[in-house]
Structure 1
């Protein structure tokens, strides 16, 4: 049975209308051999520039699984909700999906602000969130499966490379004003100092801010020789455009980003990012048959021959298959059963082999660095030859032989060592 994005959204809207009495639709769906899941991303607001693609990738994975026979002989029924780029709305929609719709799993959230907003709901209700975004670490929840990169998979390779390969040592750190950019800056400062560099500024503008003239002037006059950008959402577009408009050369003063992806570059125009860098495990430019096929399937699914793929989107896609494998191993789709069986699950994703580590429910994946070209695609200039174990507390000295986040929870005593 095959659906496209439009039919998915239509069916979700019809389902929402049937929920006047809590639990009725859930019982009917179970009787019809369906497993309902939540799909919670921003369809509107400033962050929809990215989050619509995460929703689409999730729905595409569900479509492919359903077309191949489903899970345990059941079709997956997605209930799509709009977080509207607002943490409070994310909290409300998560509560609806868990309490009213009684879904056993939600695939969703992009920003750390939205993840933090919904986390109390999942932990209180003992439900399960699959979170696809690269994030700052410093979290150890047994109600979240983290399938995006953590700092040791995104910064531990990037900062030394910037200093040793690009020869840039004076960092101007800039970000959007919320938890992810600020925590990534903390990790970056440690790595910069460990590798013989220095940070000369750490500045923030509000999420969605579009007036970057004063900040870019500050960068120009700071004496820095590299910009580490943790700017998020549509602010990325405004920042890079202002950077070029003020005549700054990426060759002389490059932007090295932890967030800027193919989507933001398509939105701003490739000429504004050409010569800059980003560190991600996934880029559309990965030259493998599996990735080429993934890109083509996605373009067909969204009916856009020019649609681009990116890291959080690829994680949104493959995490549904990791969930499927855990459900099939468990023989049921309850949150407890999935958590007990998702550890150790591997999948041949568009970016190579990924594995959920049972110790901390984070995902091993392969770090890469790309330089953006005039065609809007990244040229991969550095890549590990193997997946890297995820360490969400690497800034505090966590290693694979000395884990802070374990199956028993966070060992807070190690944070004070």
Structure 2
């Protein structure tokens, strides 16, 4: 009588962390839908290392320690093979401590560029020195944007990103105003009424989801959008749609995951077929989560294991992978691909240059 294979041998559980509440909540439906498509595509072939993927989604919009506790409990079952998702750096750092290199953890959004990550954390999202910093240099060279104000949420990603920005500006005095507000802020009067804002050429916006939406609406209502550039590494089509076309003038965004309408037409068709006609829009952020899942599939196919040390050695050894969007290599734990600058065009992006 043939032996029946165990469920553990036949499947691999992957945990997806996306915010179902808080300012990032407007991003999550698109990310979850894109992840679902990626899982279906991988499972239609060989899954991960010949095992069918089962996706477990948890709410990354809660307190970081609460998210980390749930991840720790899931890891204790011995069933989790990897972790991914779109969530804040504060959540990532708490989860990274809980994971502690036991399974690969693919972080799928931009981050602050610190080098003290726990083993196994693979940065799929962009490093500020490969995204925000060159975007600011482009705006200086092409549009004469020299002086900046910063408005950011008050946690590690905005604060550490500004450190990277300041270190790369031609002069420290080019950054003339810097404010941080709690996640969930609805009133930006203090920042928008500061007279120093009248002297800047650009505003760097380092906020999450709905906070960015509310800020962009308030900024446009002052009329500053007609003469002052805004730049953000953290805006997708959901943010543009939520803010509305009148809030998106002179708004520039840097990313490695913009969707090319012609090149990505087939992916969009698969996305609609998988998720339905009324699925959340496929966006820049959801493209990053989609690519993170496929990157895990290609990396494990190449290395032949989910072992964190073996995967890290492959990345350090210069492995290059062809993803669904572009070819990516690695510098340490950072996935490297081409970054682009786009200008908001109503509620879409017009890609204007490669950074």
TM-score by length of 1: 0.77
Counterparts in 2 of 1:341 and 1:56: CA distance versus 1, 3 Å = farther
Q: CA deviation at 1:345?
A: 4.2
- Helix, strand or coil at the partner of 1:193: coil
Higher RCO structure, 1 or 2 (CA under 8 Å, sep 6+): 2
Aligned to 1:88: 65
Matched, 1:232 2:204: no
Aligned to 1:72: 49
CA deviations over 1:146-184 (Å, ceiling 9, x no partner) = 111101221232111111111121111111111111111
- Helix, strand or coil at the partner of 2:281: coil
Q: Is the 8 A contact 1:163 1:197 kept in 2?
A: no
Q: Is the 8 A contact 2:148 2:204 kept in 1?
A: yes
Farther-moved stretch of structure 1 (308-317 vs 133-142):
308-317
Task: Write the mapping of 1:44-55 to structure 2, written as runs, cut at 5 A.
Answer: 44-55=21-32
- Helix, strand or coil at the partner of 2:14: strand
Matched, 1:319 2:292: yes
Gaps of 5+ in 2: none
Aligned to 2:327: 353
| Cα distance between partner residues in 2 of 1:192 and 1:86 | 34
| Cα distance between partner residues in 2 of 1:253 and 1:182 | 22
Matched, 1:371 2:343: yes
Q: Is the 8 A contact 1:58 1:107 kept in 2?
A: no
- Helix, strand or coil at the partner of 2:68: helix
The one of 189, 199, 220 equivalent to 1:213 is: 189
Farther-moved stretch of structure 1 (99-108 vs 294-303):
294-303
Aligned to 1:29: 7
Counterparts in 2 of 1:335 and 1:191: CA distance versus 1, 3 Å = closer
The one of 105, 117, 133 equivalent to 1:129 is: 105
| Cα distance between partner residues in 1 of 2:156 and 2:354 | 28
Aligned to 2:283: 310
Q: CA deviation at 1:247?
A: 2.2
Matched, 1:187 2:158: no
Residue-pair matches, total: 348
Q: CA deviation at 1:252?
A: 0.8
Counterparts in 2 of 1:217 and 1:304: CA distance versus 1, 3 Å = farther
Counterparts in 2 of 1:54 and 1:120: CA distance versus 1, 3 Å = same
Aligned to 2:232: 257
| Cα distance between partner residues in 2 of 1:274 and 1:49 | 21
| Cα distance between partner residues in 2 of 1:293 and 1:143 | 32
Aligned to 1:277: 252
Counterparts in 2 of 1:205 and 1:299: CA distance versus 1, 3 Å = farther
| Cα distance between partner residues in 2 of 1:280 and 1:72 | 30
Q: CA deviation at 1:44?
A: 2.9
Q: CA deviation at 1:327?
A: 2.5
Q: CA deviation at 1:87?
A: 1.0
| Cα distance between partner residues in 2 of 1:338 and 1:155 | 28
Gaps of 5+ in 1: 1-26, 385-417
Q: Is the 8 A contact 1:207 1:233 kept in 2?
A: no
CA deviations over 1:202-259 (Å, ceiling 9, x no partner) = 11111110112232122675421211111222111110111112222x3411211121
Q: Is the 8 A contact 1:87 1:113 kept in 2?
A: yes
Q: Is the 8 A contact 2:231 2:251 kept in 1?
A: yes
Q: Is the 8 A contact 2:110 2:125 kept in 1?
A: yes
| Cα distance between partner residues in 2 of 1:96 and 1:219 | 50
Aligned to 2:81: 104
Q: Is the 8 A contact 2:132 2:232 kept in 1?
A: no
Q: CA deviation at 1:341?
A: 4.2
Matched, 1:176 2:149: no
Farther-moved stretch of structure 1 (78-87 vs 180-189):
78-87
Task: Write the mapping of 1:286-297 to structure 2, written as runs, cut at 5 A.
Answer: 286-289=260-263, 291-297=264-270
Q: Is the 8 A contact 1:171 1:200 kept in 2?
A: yes
- Helix, strand or coil at the partner of 1:165: helix
